[in-house]
Structure 1
Amino acid sequence: MASNGSSDYALFPQSMIPTSASSSLPEGYALRPLRRSDYSRGFLTCLTDLTWIGDITESAFEERFDWMATKGKDWYYCIVIDDGSRIVATATMISGKKVVSLLA
């Protein structure tokens, strides 16, 4: 999926996340794909609890998002938990061909 320029463009289709995955979340919280607009929803702030982020501009974030949506398509999945106004958690799954376990 290439970015369509919309600020609310999702990294991958919501349908790829099973509804059962969010069934244990508190009311008002949603498990969803990263969106291009998540810079303003505190995505980077959430990451600062994990590691040093640096001074990333909104433009640089959107450029990286567009890269993940095009060159990272089908192997780079970033999900977030949203409380309706901001990102409160995030996880990334990278899917790739292995060179261990008999190329499993």
Structure 2
Amino acid sequence: MVREDGKRNFVMREDGQEDSVFSGNMPRQAALKAARRLDPASSESDAEANATEIRLREKGTDKVHIFDAWAWEEDAPDDKPDWMGDRITKGNVSKKGIEHIEE
């Protein structure tokens, strides 16, 4: 379902359980937010080699968006705000497809 601001809500599915909610205009935007919650690797190339499958169900529909996701840590930019730490977590995703659930 689309909210008033145009964003949609996606729920992370793990072993039939749905717990974390991520929002975004597109499924990829929500998947990128979810990817940053993964255990980060030391570099992007190491992280991509060990990609994790994540499944996001769009609330109000039977669509489950499937992505390969990975995260890594890198140094924060020089112009970072004061509250930001010296290391940041970045994430990336690659879409594998869509499934429809029957419940």
TM-score bin (small chain):
under 0.3
More helix by share: 1
More strand by share: 2
When normalised by structure 2's length, the TM-score is 0.26
Q: Which has the higher contact order (CA 8 A, sep 6+)?
A: 1
